[in-house]
C-alpha cells in the first residue's frame, strides 16, 4: 500500500515536471525552424585599401549579420565585393534565417541580453515590434543626411519619439498584375491604361471579373476562404490610411470601415469570380503560370500584390507566361481614392548590444544608402528601393520584356510615392493581422457575420495586447 502511494506521488511529480517543462519550453524555445546554416566569409585581408583615408580610421573587426539567404545572395552578386575592397579589415559572418525568424530571434536575444547580431535585416512587420519595444540602436545621425531621399512612410515605421531605429531597404508598392491574353480573350482592352481604368474601384474590379468569368469561364484571382491570410483586407485599409488601430493606439479591427471592407471582399465570394487557392502554395503558383487553355489548372486573370511579385513571376513562378503579364494600378477603395498601398519590404537595424556598430553603420551606408549601389542591387534583384534618389536612374525607364516591354519600374516608383501611412505595422502587427485574418475566415466560412467576426477579433486583440 505504502509502495502504491509512493508510486502515485512519483507519477504526479513526473507529470508536474513534464507539463511545466513543456510550458517552460514554449516560453524559451525558438519556433520551429530548421537550423540556420552559418556561412563564414573569408576575410578579404589581402586586398589593398582602395581609398585615400588612412586604414586606422576605418571600422574593422568581425561583423555578424543576420538576414535571409536571398538578401545575402543579392549583396554577394552585386555590391559586397566593392564593400570588401573599401573596408578590407571588416570580416563578415552571415547567419541565415527566414525573415520572421530573424526578428523573432533578435527579439529573444535582446530579451536575453546576449547573443545579438551586429546587424540584421528583416521585414517591417517584425521590425516595428522591436522599434516599439526598445533594444535597437538609435541611427538618426547615420540616416539624417539621407532622410530626404528615403520613402517617408516607411521611414515612419522606423521612427519612435523622433529617433530613427531602422534603415529602409526595399518597399512593396501594390499594383494590379493582369494577364493580357485573358483580358483579350474576354473581349477587353489589354493595355495598362485601359486596365487601370477597368479596375478603378473595387466595384469596377468586380464588374471586370464578372465579364472575364462570363466570357472565358476563368477566375479573376485567388481568394481562399478557410485559411485566408487577410492580405486583401490589409490593402483595403492601408490605402485609405487606416488599419487595425488608430493614431491614439485604439484597436479598430471592429470599426465600421473594417466591416465595410470585409463585406466588400465578400462581394467577390458572392459573385463566385475567385478561386479558393491558398497563397504561396504550389497550386497558387500553377494558377499564375498556367496557359489560358489549361483545363486541369485554369489560370487566374489578375493578382493585386506588391511590386516584388514581378520578379517572382519572372524568375520562378510564371516564367512560362513571359509577355502575357502586364501591370496596372490597384483599385481605389472609393472613386477618386488613393491607388497605392504597401506589402512587405525590409529594413536594416542594429541591436543595442551590437559588438561592432561602426562596421554595421559602414555596411548600411555603403550597401543601402549609397544610391549607385542601391541601383545595382535593384537591377539584380527587383527589390524595389525605398531610396527615392534611385528613381531618376535611367534603368527605371527601361522597358521590361517580361511585361510585354511595359515600363514597369517608373510606374512602381509613382505608386511608391503615394503610399499613405497605414496602421497595419506596429508593436502588435502580428497579433492584429492574425486575428483580422481569422475574422475574415469566420466570415468567409459563414460561421459569423462580418460584425460578429470582427468584434470577436478586436476583443481578442484588446485582451491580448491590453490596448483600449
Partner 1 sequence: MAQAQKLILPVDAKASSRSLWQRIKQARWAYTFISPFYILFAIFGLYPMLLSLYLSFTRWKGVGSIEFAGLVNFGLILKDKVFWQSMTNGVILFFLYVPIMLFLALALAVILNSGRVKGFRFFRTLIFLPFITNMVAAGYAFRILLEKQNGLLNVLLKYAGLSPIPWLEDVWWARISLSLLIVWAWLGYNMVIMLAGLQTIPRDLTEAALIDGASPIQAFFRVIIPLMRPVILFCMITSTIGSFGLFTEVSTLTRGGPVNATMTPLIRIYGVAFGSYQFGYASALAYTFFALIFVLTIIQFRLNRDQE
Residues contributing to the site for partner 1 (CB under 8 A)? 8, 11-12, 15-24, 26-28, 31-32, 34, 104, 107-108, 110-111, 129, 133-135, 224-227, 276-278, 281-283, 286, 427-428, 430-431, 434, 438, 441-442, 445, 447, 456, 459-460, 463-466
Of 377 and 435, nearer to partner 1 (C-beta) is 435
Of 26 and 42, nearer to partner 1 (C-beta) is 26
Contacts of 201 (CB under 8 A, 6+ apart): 331, 332, 333, 334, 335, 337
Cell numbers describing residue 302 = 489578375
Round to whole Å and give the CA distance between 273 and 213. 6
Please check whether residue 166 is in contact with residue 127, taking contact to mean a CB–CB distance below 8 angstroms: yes
Phi, psi (rounded to 5 degrees) for 303: -155, 130
CB of 353 to partner 1, least distance (A): 11
Of 215 and 462, nearer to partner 1 (C-beta) is 462
Round to whole Å and give the CA distance between 326 and 370. 31
CB of 146 to partner 1, least distance (A): 28
**Cell 481614392, residue located:** 337
CB of 450 to partner 1, least distance (A): 14
Cell numbers describing residue 129 = 515590434
**Cell 511590386, residue located:** 307
* DSSP for residue 172: E
CB of 455 to partner 1, least distance (A): 11
Round to whole Å and give the CA distance between 88 and 355. 18
Round to whole Å and give the CA distance between 133 and 465. 13
Of 184 and 352, nearer to partner 1 (C-beta) is 352
Round to whole Å and give the CA distance between 190 and 195. 6
Of 8 and 77, nearer to partner 1 (C-beta) is 8
CB of 462 to partner 1, least distance (A): 10
CB of 346 to partner 1, least distance (A): 19
Collapsing DSSP states into helix, strand and coil, what is residue 243? Answer: strand
CB of 108 to partner 1, least distance (A): 8
Q: What angle do CA 260, 266, 268 make, to 5 degrees?
A: 125
CB of 192 to partner 1, least distance (A): 31
* Angle between helical axes of 256-270 and 231-239 (0-180°, round to 10): 130
Cell numbers describing residue 463 = 485582451
CB of 26 to partner 1, least distance (A): 5
Round to whole Å and give the CA distance between 293 and 365. 50
Please check whether residue 40 is in contact with residue 95, taking contact to mean a CB–CB distance below 8 angstroms: no
Of 151 and 442, nearer to partner 1 (C-beta) is 442
Of 183 and 285, nearer to partner 1 (C-beta) is 285
Of 34 and 46, nearer to partner 1 (C-beta) is 34
Of 344 and 351, nearer to partner 1 (C-beta) is 351
How is 380-418 classified by DSSP, letter by letter?
Answer: HH---BSBGGGGGSGGGGS-BGGGTTB-HHHHHHHHHHT
Of 136 and 307, nearer to partner 1 (C-beta) is 136
CB of 345 to partner 1, least distance (A): 20
Helix H, strand E, coil C: the string for 426-467 is CCCHHHHHHHHHHHHHHHHCCCCCHHHHHHHHHHHHHHHHCC
Distances (CA, A) of 163 to 54, 140, 169: 31, 6, 18
Amino acid at each position: 500500500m505504502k509502495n502504491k502511494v509512493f508510486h502515485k506521488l512519483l507519477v504526479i511529480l513526473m507529470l508536474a515536471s513534464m507539463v511545466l517543462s513543456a510550458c517552460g519550453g514554449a516560453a524559451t524555445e525558438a519556433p520551429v525552424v530548421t537550423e540556420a546554416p552559418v556561412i563564414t566569409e573569408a576575410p578579404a585581408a589581402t586586398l589593398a585599401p582602395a581609398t585615400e583615408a588612412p586604414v586606422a580610421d576605418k571600422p574593422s573587426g568581425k561583423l555578424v549579420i543576420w538576414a535571409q539567404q536571398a538578401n545575402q545572395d543579392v549583396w554577394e552578386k552585386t555590391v559586397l565585393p566593392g564593400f570588401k575592397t573599401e573596408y578590407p579589415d571588416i570580416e563578415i559572418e552571415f547567419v541565415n534565417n527566414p525573415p520572421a525568424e530573424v526578428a523573432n530571434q533578435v527579439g529573444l536575444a535582446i530579451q536575453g541580453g546576449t547573443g545579438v547580431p551586429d546587424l540584421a535585416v528583416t521585414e517591417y512587420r517584425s521590425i516595428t515590434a522591436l522599434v516599439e519595444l526598445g533594444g535597437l540602436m538609435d541611427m538618426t545621425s547615420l540616416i539624417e543626411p539621407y532622410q530626404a531621399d528615403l520613402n517617408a512612410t516607411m521611414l515612419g515605421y522606423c521612427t519612435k519619439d523622433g529617433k530613427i531605429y531602422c534603415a529602409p531597404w526595399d518597399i512593396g508598392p501594390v499594383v494590379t498584375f493582369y494577364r493580357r491574353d485573358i483580358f483579350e480573350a474576354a473581349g477587353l482592352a489589354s493595355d495598362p491604361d485601359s486596365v487601370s481604368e477597368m479596375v478603378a474601384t473595387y466595384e469596377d474590379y468586380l464588374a471586370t471579373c464578372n465579364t472575364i468569368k462570363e466570357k472565358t469561364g476563368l477566375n479573376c484571382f485567388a481568394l481562399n476562404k478557410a485559411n485566408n491570410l487577410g492580405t486583401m483586407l490589409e490593402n483595403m485599409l492601408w490605402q485609405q490610411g487606416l488599419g487595425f488601430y488608430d493614431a491614439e493606439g485604439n484597436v479598430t479591427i471592429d470599426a465600421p470601415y473594417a466591416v465595410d471592407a470585409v463585406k466588400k471582399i465578400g462581394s467577390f465570394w458572392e459573385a463566385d469570380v475567385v478561386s479558393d487557392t491558398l497563397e504561396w502554395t504550389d497550386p497558387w503558383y500553377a494558377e499564375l503560370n498556367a496557359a489560358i487553355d489549361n483545363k486541369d489548372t485554369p489560370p487566374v486573370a489578375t493578382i493585386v500584390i506588391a511590386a516584388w511579385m514581378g520578379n517572382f513571376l519572372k524568375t520562378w513562378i510564371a516564367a512560362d507566361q513571359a509577355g502575357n503579364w502586364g501591370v496596372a494600378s490597384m483599385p481605389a477603395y472609393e472613386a477618386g481614392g488613393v491607388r497605392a498601398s504597401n506589402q512587405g519590404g525590409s529594413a536594416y537595424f542594429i541591436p543595442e548590444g551590437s559588438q561592432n556598430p561602426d562596421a554595421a553603420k559602414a555596411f548600411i551606408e555603403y550597401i543601402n544608402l549609397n544610391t549607385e549601389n542601391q541601383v545595382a542591387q535593384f537591377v539584380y534583384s527587383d527589390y524595389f528601393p525605398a531610396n527615392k534618389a534611385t528613381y531618376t536612374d535611367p534603368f527605371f525607364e527601361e522597358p521590361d520584356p517580361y511585361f510585354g516591354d511595359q515600363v514597369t519600374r517608373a510606374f512602381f516608383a509613382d505608386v511608391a510615392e503615394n503610399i499613405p501611412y497605414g496602421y497595419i505595422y506596429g508593436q502588435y502587427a502580428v497579433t492584429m493581422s492574425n486575428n483580422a485574418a481569422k475574422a475574415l475566415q469566420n466570415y468567409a466560412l459563414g460561421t459569423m457575420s462580418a460584425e460578429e467576426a470582427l468584434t470577436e477579433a478586436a476583443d481578442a486583440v484588446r485582451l491580448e495586447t491590453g490596448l483600449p
